[in-house]
């Protein structure tokens, strides 16, 4: 039987002491936005501070709805700091000896052991031939992903509240077969996992396992894999000695597996860490502290310990961050999550010149990735920007430097907003998509915040409303379109909302909507989907559809503009912001119309991209203005359509908007 070898890290207490105390004494405790009260947090503080975790926790500490599958050597599901976050298969009746949910597994309450074919997912710590480090490994990994935080016990995980799905596919010595791992991946896919973390490697590209992983990705699962510990003095160059599953996507147009390597607290590549093109990101991997199995009668007395080195422990930090991003953007595709985590990492090539271009996009930065995912959309109309935080909508006039609160919605949260613009360039009606308790409403207000109307939006169970759009020239009542998403079916719908909340479905598509807009004159609309880095643009009039396909590398943003022709005289123009070249920071803007306009963006600090994109409808001497902004920082960088730098402004924060 083919073996898929699990490269286990070893406990290295002397290394752990160096990692904690460094060369210049104990690292100072950095007081940041959200620090848990767990008793052993101080032993993890260097790691969490390095990846900006407390700032991420100030935005979200995770959600139970997000499921992370841990394929490993077993997890101590009874651990006091982990059991609250262990997955429960609610479709199964415990211990009745039946396959109640008909998924092929009897009494799989918390997952499955694919080695012994039982529902006991705990590590095999009772066997006399067990490697104790292998027995601990799965719990260490699970603890880094989702140990309960701020409960005064042990330590904290990336997600204080998440759901861990334990799947045992590694034996007592840390090795397993391709077949069992593929079965575990299939189980995770069929039972609702959002993220799969894999702290193991092998040197054979098994096609069955690759197929299972690809299926998981296409079902909306983020895949995260270690790149191994072959080190600087062995076969550590993955370009000549690739490992799997981390390198399965090497050479593909789409980056569908995050390959993770390790750095020290000083952001230098760890001595044991592998490197090469398969590496997408690096994360702390030396002197790691986490949960361990607790069974005093068998010699497992601590329940929490440290000194762990290896890419095995960098990987769950990245997987956990993907789960945090998922918690604030539940309808994002795996590609959107992957590119956010990678793009908002901290560049460390300057500290690793020998390995430049071989250690991915940078070092994991939880704070930046989560802030980017959670940042509210900003809309621009001529010289003003509109943006929101929670229940407050604000306006900032760029020329005058004046900020105003437009409206507050008591007892509800703003999800999205849009507004009408008159021919004179003034704002007319504003429409807000709000959520109050578990229900959604469309509220229409005047430009100065006066309430005009509010109607409920009927919603089936399990659906999420994400974006609202008002058509400026529509008669009363306003013509409003809402984007609706089904996390279970992975489908997007565009729904017209009429008076009294009556809805009409315009489009249902199982794809990734990256941009859509409506022509205000005739009601036709253009929408864009992105799959395998191919952008398909469609124009729909509810009876016919046209489409054009473009290939872009690493699309960052898509915006539709009601202006220049695309398919015809009254159609919309689509602007695409993307990065040119795999890991370069050069940004390009293309107008996907009959005549392409291209602007290179990378001057005056914009090279520290990626950036979000807005497109002004106001024509100037040099054509349309493109406005790029770094949402978490509130920095707005303005160019013309050719990419020429015009100016930079900073929007003041509101109630923690960019703090």
Give residue-wise pLDDT tens across range 353-375: 999 889 999 999 998 888 778 76
**CA distance linking residue 111 with residue 72, whole number of Å:** 12
Contact at 8 Å (CB) between 168 and 74?
A: yes
Which secondary-structure segment (H or E) carries 188?
A: helix 178-190
* Residue 64 pLDDT > 70: yes
Return the DSSP state at 194.
S
Pairing of strands 304-308, 288-291: antiparallel
Contact at 8 Å (CB) between 370 and 270?
A: no
User: Which residue, among 169, 171, 172, 223, has the nearest Cα to 193 in the 3D structure?
Assistant: 223
For residues 434-449, one letter each, b for 16 or more C-beta atoms within 10 angstroms of the residue's C-beta and e for the rest, the string is: bbbeeebbbbbbebee
Contact at 8 Å (CB) between 367 and 358?
A: no
Q: Residue 556 has what pLDDT? A: 62
Among the ranges given (220-229, 319-328, 479-488), the one the predictor scored with the smallest mean pLDDT = 479-488
- Structural tokens at position 303: 């329940």
**Could you report the per-residue pLDDT of 172-222, keeping only the tens digit for each?**
888 889 999 999 999 999 999 999 999 999 988 999 999 999 999 988 899
Confidence of residue 619 (pLDDT cuts 50, 70, 90): very low
Query: What pTM was estimated for this model as a whole?
Result: 0.70
* Residue 424 pLDDT > 80: no
């Amino acid at each position: 039987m083919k073996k898929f070898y699990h490269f286990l890290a070893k406990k290295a207490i002397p290394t752990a002491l160096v990692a904690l105390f460094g060369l210049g004494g104990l690292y100072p405790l950095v007081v940041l936005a959200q620090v848990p009260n767990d008793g052993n947090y101080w032993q993890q503080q260097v790691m969490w501070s390095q990846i900006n975790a407390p700032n991420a926790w100030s935005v979200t500490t995770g959600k139970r709805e997000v499921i992370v599958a841990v394929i490993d050597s077993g997890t101590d599901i009874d651990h006091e700091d982990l059991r609250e976050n262990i997955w429960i298969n609610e479709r199964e009746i415990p211990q009745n000896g039946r396959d109640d949910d008909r998924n092929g597994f009897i009494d799989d309450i918390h997952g499955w052991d694919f080695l012994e074919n039982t529902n006991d997912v705990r590590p095999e710590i009772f066997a006399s031939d067990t490697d104790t480090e292998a027995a601990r490994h799965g719990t260490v990994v699970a603890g880094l992903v989702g140990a309960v935080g701020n409960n005064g016990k042990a330590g904290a995980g990336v997600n204080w509240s998440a759901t861990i799905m334990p799947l045992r596919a590694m034996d007592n010595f840390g090795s397993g077969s391709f077949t069992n791992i593929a079965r575990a991946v299939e189980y995770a896919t069929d039972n609702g996992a959002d993220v799969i973390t894999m702290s193991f490697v092998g040197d054979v590209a098994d096609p069955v396992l690759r197929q299972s992983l690809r299926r998981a990705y296409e079902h909306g699962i983020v895949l995260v894999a270690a790149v191994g510990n072959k080190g600087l003095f062995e076969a550590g160059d993955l370009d000549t000695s690739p490992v799997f599953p981390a390198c399965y996507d090497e050479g593909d147009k789409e980056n569908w597996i995050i390959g993770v390597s390790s750095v020290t607290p000083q952001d230098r590549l760890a001595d044991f860490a592998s490197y090469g093109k398969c590496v997408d990101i690096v994360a702390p991997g030396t002197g790691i502290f986490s949960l361990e199995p607790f069974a005093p009668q068998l010699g497992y007395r601590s329940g929490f310990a440290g000194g762990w080195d290896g890419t095995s422990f960098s990987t769950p930090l990245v997987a956990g961050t993907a789960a945090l991003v998922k918690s604030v953007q539940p309808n994002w595709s795996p590609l959107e999550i992957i590119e956010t985590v990678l793009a908002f990492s901290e560049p460390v090539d300057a500290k690793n010149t020998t390995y430049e271009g071989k250690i991915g996009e940078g070092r994991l930065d939880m704070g930046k990735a989560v802030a980017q995912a959670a940042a509210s959309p900003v809309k621009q109309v001529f010289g003003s920007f509109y943006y929101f935080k929670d229940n407050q909508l604000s306006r900032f006039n760029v020329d005058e430097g004046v900020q105003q609160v437009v409206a507050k919605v008591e007892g509800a949260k703003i999800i999205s907003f849009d507004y009408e613009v008159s021919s004179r360039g003034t704002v007319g009606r504003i429409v807000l998509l709000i959520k109050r308790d578990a229900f959604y409403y469309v509220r229409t207000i005047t430009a100065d915040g006066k309430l005009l109307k509010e109607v409920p939006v009927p919603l089936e169970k399990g659906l999420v409303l994400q974006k609202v759009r008002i058509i400026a020239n529509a008669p009363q009542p306003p013509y409003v379109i809402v984007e609706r998403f089904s996390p279970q079916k992975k489908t997007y719908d565009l729904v017209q909302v009429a008076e009294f909340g009556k809805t009409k479905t315009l489009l249902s598509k199982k794809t990734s909507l990256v941009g859509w807009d409506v022509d205000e004159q005739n009601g036709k609309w253009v929408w864009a989907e992105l799959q395998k880095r191919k952008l398909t643009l469609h124009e729909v009039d509810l009876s016919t559809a046209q489409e054009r396909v473009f290939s872009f590398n690493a699309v960052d943003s898509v915006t539709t503009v009601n202006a220049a022709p695309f398919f015809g005289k009254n159609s919309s123009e689509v602007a695409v912001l993307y990065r040119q070249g795999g890991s370069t920071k050069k940004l390009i803007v293309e107008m996907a119309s009959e005549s392409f306009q291209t602007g290179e963006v990378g001057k005056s600090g914009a090279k520290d991209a990626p950036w979000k994109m807005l497109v002004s409808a106001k024509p100037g001497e040099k054509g349309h203005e493109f406005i790029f902004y770094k949402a978490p920082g509130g920095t707005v960088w303005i160019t013309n359509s050719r990419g020429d730098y015009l100016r930079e402004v900073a929007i003041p924060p509101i109630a923690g908007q960019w703090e």
